[in-house]
Amino acid sequence: MALRATRQQIVQAADDLFYRQGFEHTSFADIAKVVNISRGNFYHHFKSKDEILDAVIETRLQRTQQMLLDWEEEGASPKERIESYIRILLTNWAMIKDYGCPVGTLCTELAKLDHSSKEQANKVFSLFRIWLRQQFTLLGYGDEADGLAMHVLSWSQGVATLGNAFNDIEYVRQEVAKMCDWLDAMCRHNKCGKKFKQKKRQ
């Protein structure tokens, strides 16, 4: 088999289980059962549970980065790109309704555990933050761009948490609509949407 095939399977299974059950509530046996390998084999690939967590966070960082690049290509204007971000609440609703936001829930869990990988997990938030900030910068909100990025970030985060708690997609739809309306107003005030039809990449 390929050199990293098993390792990759482990990370994939751990990624999924950490999201659905939480980091602490997921045991080695749980992951081993999914991947169908022995516990011993585990320690050939990862020396500790924390090491798996680091690997999981690493793949999440890469996956997120890729997603942001994709949105950058798909969305012609900054506004459309931000809308891609907002819509993720509905795109991933099937998971969010049961397990919440994968980024936020991991960060809050690690914060409570005072885990050493806490900062690393927060970097996923940072990726979104920086990306959103750039979109708002392109929309002409120089100084406010970071504040607006954080605003969108926390707004969506709250909607994920409450949507999960109340299991109410209708409410999520409403909030998504509100966010899009808000974004519309933001763009109108700055008379954007025409100037940013095309943005060069690569």
Task: State the residues that interact with DNA by CB under 7 A.
Answer: 1, 3-6, 26-30, 36-45, 47-50
Closest by CA to 30, choosing from 43, 13, 44, 45, is 13
The secondary structure of 46-59 as a DSSP string is: -SSHHHHHHHHHHH
Closest by CA to 81, choosing from 152, 160, 28, 32, is 152
Of DNA, a copy of itself, none, which one does residue 1 interact with (CB within 5 to 8 Å by kind)? DNA
User: Per-residue x/- mask for a copy of itself, residues 85 to 114, rule CB under 8 A?
Assistant: -------------xxx---xx-xxx-xxx-
Of DNA, a copy of itself, none, which one does residue 109 interact with (CB within 5 to 8 Å by kind)? a copy of itself
130 lines the binding site for a copy of itself (CB under 8 A): no
Query: In angstroms, what is the minimal distance from the CB of 40 to DNA?
Result: 2
Return residues touching a copy of itself (CB under 8 A). Answer: 20-22, 24-25, 98-100, 104-105, 107-109, 111-113, 122, 125, 147, 150-151, 153-159, 161-162, 164-166, 171, 174-175, 178
